[in-house]
Amino acid sequence: MQKKSFFLIVLSILLVSFYAYRETAPQGQYILSGGKQQPINTCTYQDRAIKGDNCYGNCPDRTPASGAAVKQCCDYKKGASGGLTKECECKDNVNPCTNEKKCATCMAYAEAGGTRIDDSCMTAVMCTLKNRVDPGSTHKPKVKTMCEAVAQQDGNQYNAYKCVCNAKDRNQKYCKCCAGTLTGDEKKEWEEAQGLYGSLGLDCSGFDANTFNNAGMNSWAKGNCKKVTPPDNLAGCATFDFYKC
């Protein structure tokens, strides 16, 4: 009887501890594709043993005295010497690319460029951007340009740059592409993306996906969206799964 009582007391303590942790632990986010789970509603530093340190969280829009609201994101503060600290603050979310073609091709290079990835993947990634801009798009939040889609971040799909392209971010490929500092094979991959985009714009006929993730990834999109089979001209892309959300 005493053993049974002791067991019940221990079990109760464990359950209380678990629920307390669940309520206070920071919520995760998807790095690639299809994610809908949003970060915590504050801008804070998070030391993650596996993925490294990170500024993490949501920031409210900045409302200027006149003009449209400005999106902000959580990023590192600069110290007195100009270097980055482990403190975080809300900053204006500045997309380093400034026109549709460059936003699309730099994103394609950043997400799907590489000698081991079929070039059709870059076209497919660009199409997911274009399909979000389509007036009939079912994806939320709505966007008017591909550059806006790139800038959504925070689990909405594309996390190619961190706020203002600070050097601590894990993925600098998009930032380097926008800045025009790619060299060697990297530059060749982006030039390939430009060729795939074409001089007349992107042709995504027969392909209405607006979200993707790594093939086989157990993402939000996989459980909540319609899977899309790429048409014959994109069938070579086996690196990603595509969805319409």
Average pLDDT over residues 105-122: 87
pTM score above 0.95? no
Q: Please tell me the distance from the alpha carbon of residue 157 to that of residue 160, in angstroms, as a whole number.
A: 9
Min mean pLDDT across 7-11, 148-152, 191-195, 196-200 is at: 7-11
CA distance 240 to 121: 8
* Per-residue pLDDT reduced to its tens digit, 127-154: 998 998 877 777 777 788 888 888 765 4
Alpha helices in 113-172 (DSSP H): 120-133, 146-150
Cα–Cα distance for residue pair 143/233, rounded to 1 Å: 27
Output Rg (C-alpha) for the chain, integer angstroms. 21
Do 62 and 72 meet the contact criterion of CB atoms below 8 Å apart? yes
Q: What is the mean pLDDT of the chain?
A: 76
E-assigned strands of 15-139? 44-48, 52-56, 72-78, 84-92
pLDDT tens for 25-44 read 333 333 334 444 455 678 88
Distances (CA, A) of 27 to 155, 200, 204, 228, 230: 11, 42, 35, 29, 33
Token look-up 């801008």 returns: 43
* 46-100 pLDDT, tens digit each: 776 555 667 777 788 888 888 778 778 788 888 888 777 888 888 887 788 889 9
Let me know if 89 is exposed, middle or buried by CB neighbors in 10 A (0-12, 13-18, 19+): middle
Q: What are the residue ranges spanned by the domains of the chain?
A: 44-92, 100-244
What is the SS3 assignment for 179?
Answer: helix
DSSP, collapsed to helix, strand or coil, labels residue 58 as coil
Greater model confidence, 28 or 226: 226
Compute the distance between CA of residue 31 and CA of residue 90 in angstroms, rounded to an integer: 20
156 against 135, higher pLDDT: 135
